[in-house]
Amino acid sequence: MAALLALRPVDPDARAMPWSQGLRSLSFRPAGAAEAPEAPHALGPALIFWADPDAAAVEPHAQMLRRSGFEVRRFDTLAELEAAMAAAQPSLVILDTAMPGEDALALCGRLSGEADTPVMLFSAAAETLDRVAGLESGADEYLHKAAHPLEVLARTRALLRRARRQVRTKSPGAWSLDMLTGLVTGPSGRCVRLSPSEATLLKLFSERPNEVLYRQELMALLHGEAAGGLTPRLVDTRVARLRKALDACDAGGDLIRTMRGGGYLFHAAVGG
Q: How confident is the model over 156-172, as pLDDT tens digits? A: 999 988 877 665 444 45
Backbone dihedral region of 150: left (phi > 0), alpha (psi from -120 to 50 degrees) or beta?
alpha
Task: List, in sequence order, every residue forming a beta bridge with 25; answer none if it has no partner.
Answer: 178
The total number of residues written for the chain in this structure: 272
Predicted local confidence at residue 155, as pLDDT: 93
Predicted local confidence at residue 13, as pLDDT: 38
Question: Which class is domain 25-36+173-271?
Answer: mainly alpha
Q: Is 138 exposed, middle or buried (CB count within 10 Å of its CB: 0-12, 13-18, 19+)?
A: middle
CA distances from 28 to 45, 100, 158 (A): 25, 42, 30
Q: In this prediction, what percent of the chain has a pLDDT beyond 90? A: 35
Domain ranges of the chain: 25-36+173-271, 47-170
**Rg, Å, the chain Cα set:** 21
Q: Which superfamily does 47-170 belong to?
A: Response regulator (3.40.50.2300)
Predicted local confidence at residue 33, as pLDDT: 58
Q: Is 248 helix (H, G, I), strand (E, B) or coil?
A: coil
**Helical segments of the chain, H only:** 55-67, 78-85, 104-114, 128-136, 149-170, 196-207, 215-223, 233-247
Predicted local confidence at residue 87, as pLDDT: 86
Residue ranges, the chain, pLDDT below 50 = 1-21, 34-43, 168-171
Predicted local confidence at residue 202, as pLDDT: 92
Predicted local confidence at residue 21, as pLDDT: 45
Q: How confident is the model over 20-71, as pLDDT tens digits? A: 445 567 888 887 654 444 444 444 578 999 999 999 999 999 999 999 999 9
Asked whether 81 and 96 are in contact (CB, 8 A), the reply is: no
